[in-house]
């Protein structure tokens, strides 16, 4: 299948639109925001359901505590702030008040990764996936474009249990279908191939698709898998692919430690060991620049995926 795009939208807008649609269907959905309503695209929710919206101000720890309480009372709370504030700043509250008791709280995190861009290293969280997937019972989801973020938001509203939903700031190609089915814990086979498996998540799915086209011109047949749910991982889909191709490249907008790549490596070493290469930020903080400049400098764009594919093929 060939993927093309005719539009670019930020994934955070997919979250905002999905939240509004979910709230129209379920009156128990409430939303909390830490002084970033516009940035999280929660304006329409606040406008349509003012009695179900809580602006907590710059008090993220309080927001998580309030969400836990609302969940105890039968509500379905969605919290919204930047990804670094959604994780690092409130990890104690998430662990003790949400994860430990398995509360039905949806922790929704925008401006994740290097593609936050000019705000710089203090805001470019690159360790959040690792932090959140280590919490027992926490589901971790990282959708790839506007459409997938919208349907993922609607899907987690119907899912019982704590969820970390990670999305971003920049306008990004919209290449998935509006009516595509979203199943938590089940990846998507985007492009079939025979020589190498590329397992990608979030913004890196599009980069993997572009890399596949470059590789095809070089005579290399790459299989591309979209792993939108990092935990629980779709073991079956990944193993089926690597049993055919015999090698894998993981691609993510995250630190090389603790992310999707390590989850894939653990799966493979236990079940079907094959050569693996990692496209991720190499144990570094970011800096201030445009998203594309940062992806190139820190080695997480399509060019790097192509290079890692060529490297892993030599190890087969």
197 plus 166 within the same structural domain? no
Q: Is residue 217 included in any domain, yes or no?
A: yes
Distances, alpha carbon 97 to alpha carbons 61, 64, 88, in Å: 10, 8, 15
128 plus 196 within the same structural domain? no
Domain containing 18 — which CATH number?
3.40.50.970
Domain end marker among 140, 173, 206: 173
Range of the domain at 287: 188-313
User: Tokens 């997937």 sit at which residue?
Assistant: 133
Distances, alpha carbon 161 to alpha carbons 18, 118, 156, 164, in Å: 18, 34, 9, 10
Q: Is the predicted pLDDT of residue 295 greater than 80, yes or no? A: yes
Q: Is residue 131 included in any domain, yes or no?
A: yes
- How many other CB atoms are found less than 10 A from the CB of residue 265? 15
Q: Tens of pLDDT along 52-105?
A: 999 999 999 999 999 999 999 999 999 999 999 999 999 999 999 999 999 999
Domain containing 294 — which CATH number?
3.40.50.920
Q: Is the predicted pLDDT of residue 229 greater than 90, yes or no? A: yes
199 plus 83 within the same structural domain? no
- Length, in residues, of the chain: 316
Confidence of residue 30 (pLDDT cuts 50, 70, 90): very high
Identify the pLDDT of residue 2.
77
Catalytic one among 21, 46, 51, 60? 60
Q: Is residue 135 included in any domain, yes or no?
A: yes
| Mean pLDDT taken over the chain | 97
Burial string for 126-135 (b: 16+ CB within 10 Å, else e) reads bbbbbbbbeb
Q: Is residue 4 included in any domain, yes or no?
A: no
- How many other CB atoms are found less than 10 A from the CB of residue 292? 13
Domain end marker among 147, 173, 199: 173
Query: For this structure, is 158 an active site residue?
Result: no
Domain end marker among 122, 138, 173: 173
257 plus 150 within the same structural domain? no
148 plus 55 within the same structural domain? yes
d(CA 285, CA 296): 14
37 plus 92 within the same structural domain? yes
d(CA 77, CA 71): 6
Q: Is the predicted pLDDT of residue 4 greater than 90, yes or no? A: no
Q: Is residue 251 included in any domain, yes or no?
A: yes
Degrees (nearest 5) of the Cα angle 282, 304, 278?
Answer: 50
199 plus 249 within the same structural domain? yes
3 state SS of 128: helix
β-strand partners of 32: 54, 79
Any idea which of 6-10, 16-20, 104-108, 274-278 has the lowest mean pLDDT?
Answer: 6-10
CA atoms within 13 A on the CB side of 115: 25
Q: Is residue 2 included in any domain, yes or no?
A: no
Name, in order, each residue with C-beta under 8 angstroms of 178's C-beta and a sequence gap of 6 or more: 147
Share of the chain above pLDDT 90, in %: 98
Identify the pLDDT of residue 247.
98
Name, in order, each residue with C-beta under 8 angstroms of 250's C-beta and a sequence gap of 6 or more: 199, 200, 260, 261, 264, 265, 276, 277, 278, 279, 280
166 plus 269 within the same structural domain? no
Distances, alpha carbon 26 to alpha carbons 20, 45, 149, 265, 270, in Å: 10, 13, 19, 39, 41
Q: Is residue 58 included in any domain, yes or no?
A: yes
Identify the pLDDT of residue 6.
81
Confidence of residue 37 (pLDDT cuts 50, 70, 90): very high
Q: Is residue 133 included in any domain, yes or no?
A: yes
143 plus 21 within the same structural domain? yes
Identify the pLDDT of residue 261.
98
153 plus 203 within the same structural domain? no
Number of domains within the chain: 2
Output the DSSP codes for 80-107: EEEHHHHHGGGHHHIIIIIITTT---EE
pTM recorded for the entire structure = 0.97
Q: What is the mean pLDDT of residues 239-259?
A: 98
Identify the pLDDT of residue 5.
86
294 plus 246 within the same structural domain? yes
Q: What is the mean pLDDT of residues 102-109?
A: 98
73 plus 98 within the same structural domain? yes
Identify the pLDDT of residue 131.
98
């Amino acid at each position: 299948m060939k993927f093309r795009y005719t539009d670019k939208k930020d994934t955070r807008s997919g979250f905002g639109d999905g939240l509004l649609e979910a709230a129209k269907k379920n009156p128990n959905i409430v939303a909390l925001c830490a002084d970033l309503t516009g940035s999280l695209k929660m304006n329409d929710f606040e406008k349509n359901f003012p009695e179900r919206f809580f602006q907590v101000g710059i008090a993220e720890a309080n927001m998580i505590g309030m969400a836990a309480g609302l969940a105890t009372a039968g509500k379905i709370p969605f919290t919204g702030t930047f990804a670094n504030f959604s994780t690092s700043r409130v990890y104690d509250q998430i662990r003790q008040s949400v994860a430990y008791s398995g509360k039905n709280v949806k922790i929704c995190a925008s401006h994740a990764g290097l593609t936050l861009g000019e705000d710089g290293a203090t805001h470019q969280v690159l360790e959040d996936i690792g932090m959140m997937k280590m919490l027992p019972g926490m589901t971790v989801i990282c959708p790839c474009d506007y459409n997938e973020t919208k349907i993922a938001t609607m899907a987690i509203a119907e899912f019982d249990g704590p969820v970390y939903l990670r999305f971003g700031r920049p306008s990004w190609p919209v290449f998935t279908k509006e009516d595509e089915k979203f199943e938590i814990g089940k990846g998507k086979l985007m492009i079939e191939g025979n020589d190498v498996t590329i397992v990608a998540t979030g913004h890196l799915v599009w980069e993997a698709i572009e890399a596949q086209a470059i590789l095809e011109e070089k005579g290399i047949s790459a299989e591309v898998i979209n792993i939108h749910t990092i935990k629980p991982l779709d073991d079956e889909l990944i193993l089926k692919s690597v049993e055919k191709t015999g090698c894998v490249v993981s691609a993510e907008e995250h630190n090389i430690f603790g992310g999707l790549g390590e989850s894939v490596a653990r799966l493979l070493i236990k079940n079907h060991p094959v050569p693996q290469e990692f496209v991720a930020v190499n144990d570094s903080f970011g800096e201030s620049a445009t998203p594309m400049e940062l992806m190139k400098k820190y080695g997480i764009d399509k060019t790097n995926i192509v290079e890692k594919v060529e490297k892993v093929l030599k190890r087969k």
